[in-house]
Structure 1
Amino acid sequence: MHYFERRRDRFDLFDRMDSPAVNLCFPLDLPDYRPWCKEQGLAPFHVLLCAVLRAILKIDNFRYRVFEGEVIRIDRLMPSFTVVNQHNDLNFALFAWSDDLREFVARGIAAREEASAMTALNNRYAALSPRAVKDQVFITCIPWLDFTSIQHPAATLGSPDIPSLAWGKFRDGPPGRLLLPFSVQAHHGFVDGYHIHQLARQIAAELAGFMG
């Protein structure tokens, strides 16, 4: 929490606002990891999800939350993301973290299959305690659209402390590169544009690390 105390005055400034959220949408430039995923038999979405969440954990500003009126720093993440079921209705998939990429992907696929087979909202998500919810980042993927903006829902307009991330349709960039629309929404008391820039660079670094 030492780093947070340096910016507590910024937190106090933005937290008093009706909506303290900052939301940036931008083309995320990544190494094209899709051929590597094909060689390894790994699902590209779940590999990117792992890279995103690992990057989140390496940037303190994305680990701060507000719980019972106090700022806390989370020590872990519970991976979760949106899926569609057979009726094309949204549901939530969540699973236990693994440091091993292959196990992470396997757990994510199992969670996707479980959630997409449900017609009602996932009871595991609804049963989370208020504190356990803070160990998440809200993740959604809109693979059909090359979007340029997005408005993330917020349970309480004045408390967007859990970051919301979204990405869209992949498209080819320069040779060896991949571009996709990417959105980051977070509490401006914790996160500035510079930290979103750091996150983008770290995601690319995580993918490069997977590929060796």
Structure 2
Amino acid sequence: MHNFENRRDRYEAFASFEKPLVNLSFELEVPEFRPFCKERGLPPFHFFLYHVLHGLAGIDNFMYRVHKGEVIKIKDFWASYTVINQDQNLNFARFEMTPDLQEFVARSVEAKKVAEASATIINKSEDLSDYDKRRNIHITCMPWLKLTSIEHPIYEHKDYDIPSLAWGRFSDPRDDGKLTMTMSVQAHHGFVDGYHIHLLAQAIATRLAQTMAQ
């Protein structure tokens, strides 16, 4: 928690706000990873999700939460994201994170199938303990749309401490071997500044490039 103590005064300032959130939408530029996935039989969404979530886990600021009135740093979080079920209604996939790429993809694919098959909503935060509710990252992807911005539904802005990420349709392949998408990152401004969102964008691109170079 040493890093947090260096910004506790910033947290206390923003925690007094009625809406202490920062929400940035930006163009994320990453290596074109879809041919790599196709060669190896990896579903692109799950491959990309792996690098997004592990990028988040490597930045302290996205791991801070408020639990029982105190700021804590969680050690890990659920892998979770929105799914459209067979009735074309929203549902939630959730599974335990793992550093192994193949195992992560397998768990993610299975969790998606379970959420797609359920007519009732599953994996709600209300099913978790108070601490496990904090072990969360909200992820949504809208591949049908070129995302420009998003506003997430929030029960109470003042106490909201779970980072929320969204992205839309990927661009067509570029001549320079890159692809882009609009990504939105929302987080408690007491923990996260625009600089940390920049670090996340860098981490995602770097992790993708490193995996593809192996």
TM-score calculated relative to the size of structure 2:
0.96
Counterpart of 1:5 in structure 2 is: 5
> Residues 146-196 of structure 1: CA distance to partner in whole angstroms, max 9, x if unpaired?
111100122211122110000100003442101011000000000000000
Equivalent AA in structure 2 for residue 10 of structure 1: R
CA RMSD between the two structures: 1.1
- Give the Å deviation of 1:135: 1.2
Please tell me whether residue 100 in structure 1 is matched to residue 95 in structure 2: no
Identity of aligned residues (%): 51
- Give the Å deviation of 1:31: 0.5
Counterpart of 2:207 in structure 1 is: 206
- Give the Å deviation of 1:127: 1.7
5+ residue gaps, structure 1: none
Mapping 1:59-138, distance limit 5 Å = 59-123=59-123, 126-138=126-138
Counterpart of 1:192 in structure 2 is: 193
Inter-partner Cα distance in structure 2 for 1:190 and 1:126: 24
Counterpart of 1:44 in structure 2 is: 44
Change (3 A) 1:174 1:21: farther
Inter-partner Cα distance in structure 2 for 1:61 and 1:47: 24
Inter-partner Cα distance in structure 2 for 1:197 and 1:174: 24
Contact residue 94 and residue 123 of structure 2 kept, 8 A: no
> Residues 61-89 of structure 1: CA distance to partner in whole angstroms, max 9, x if unpaired?
11100111110001112100000011110
Counterpart of 1:159 in structure 2 is: 159
> Residues 115-159 of structure 1: CA distance to partner in whole angstroms, max 9, x if unpaired?
111111115754211211211110000111111110012221112
Equivalent AA in structure 2 for residue 22 of structure 1: V
Aligned positions, number: 212
Contact residue 92 and residue 124 of structure 2 kept, 8 A: no
Equivalent AA in structure 2 for residue 209 of structure 1: Q
Inter-partner Cα distance in structure 2 for 1:142 and 1:42: 19
More displaced stretch, 2-11 vs 126-135: 126-135
Contact residue 17 and residue 158 of structure 1 kept, 8 A: yes
Contact residue 94 and residue 125 of structure 1 kept, 8 A: no
Structure 1 segments of 4+ aligned residues over 2 angstroms from their partners: 123-126, 172-175
TM-score calculated relative to the size of structure 1:
0.97
Equivalent AA in structure 1 for residue 184 of structure 2: S
> Residues 22-51 of structure 1: CA distance to partner in whole angstroms, max 9, x if unpaired?
000011100011100001100111111110
Contact residue 92 and residue 123 of structure 2 kept, 8 A: no
Contact residue 166 and residue 182 of structure 1 kept, 8 A: yes
Counterpart of 2:150 in structure 1 is: 150
Contact residue 93 and residue 123 of structure 2 kept, 8 A: no
Equivalent AA in structure 2 for residue 178 of structure 1: L
Inter-partner Cα distance in structure 1 for 2:29 and 2:185: 14
Contact residue 33 and residue 212 of structure 2 kept, 8 A: yes
5+ residue gaps, structure 2: none
